[in-house]
Amino acid sequence: MTGAYMASKKTSSPAGKGAAKGAVKKFFQWTWGKIFKRSLLFVLLIALGGFLFNIDRLGNTGVNLLKFKEYLPGFIVRFLPGGTAQEGAAVPDEIISGEVIEVYDGDTLTLLSRINGQEKKYKVRFYGIDAPEAAQAHGTASRDALRGKILGRQVQVTVVSVDRYGRSVGKVMSGVRYINLEMVAEGNAWYYPDYAANEYELAKAEKEARSGRLGLWQESSPQAPWFYRKENRK
C-alpha cells in the first residue's frame, strides 16, 4: 500500500508542479496586463488633457478641432477653451477683447475673454451686416469664410448695442482689419441698413460686391436673410 502510494505521488508530482507554474504564470500575465492597460489609459488621459488645455496654441490643428466642437462629447467640450467660462454681459461703447472660440454663421461668434485669470464668454452679433442663414444658398460658404478669418484668433469688439437675445452687437476688428466690412466686400453678407443707418462704407462695399458678382452675388437674385426669416417664421 505504501509503495503504491509513493509511486502515485512520484508520477503525479511533475504534473501538479506544471499546473501550479501555469496558474502562477497566468496570474502574473493577468495582473501585469491590467496594470499595463490602466497605465496606458492614465498616460492617454494625461496627454488628452494637455492637448485640450493647449488647443488654443495648436495653430490649424486647434482651429480644426474647434470647428467640430458641436460633435464632441460633453465631457471633452468642458476642457476646450471656454468650456467652463461664465457668460459675460457687455454694455454699449464697451470694448471687449479675446479669442474667437465659436463661429455659428457669417455674422455671429463667441468670444472668450481672459482677464486676471477669469474667463468670460460673449456672444457677439456683427453690427451692420446680415449673413445668409444656414439653410440658404451661400449660408455654409459665408460661415466658413468667417471661420477662416477669425476662428481661434484674437479680436477686439466695440459694442454698439445689446440685442433682445442678450448678444453684444458690435464692430469686430482683427488687428487693423474691419471684419464686418470684409464680409460685405467679399460678398459673404448683406449690408443691414435697418439696424445700421448711414454706414456708408458698408453700403459702398455691398454695391461693389454686387457689381463684381462676388460671393452670394453670383446668383441672379439672392434672397436677403431678413426676408428669408420672415417667410420661414413659425
- Could you give the residue numbers annotated as active site? 125, 133, 167
- The residues that bridge with 168 in the sheet, in sequence order, are 124, 162
Distance between CA atoms of residues 128 and 111, nearest Å? 18
Say which residues have a Cβ less than 8 Å from residue 174's Cβ, sequence separation at least 6: 149, 150, 153, 154, 155, 156
Of 217, 173, 224, 182, the C-alpha closest to 201 is 182
Q: How many CB atoms lie within 10 A of CB 28?
A: 10
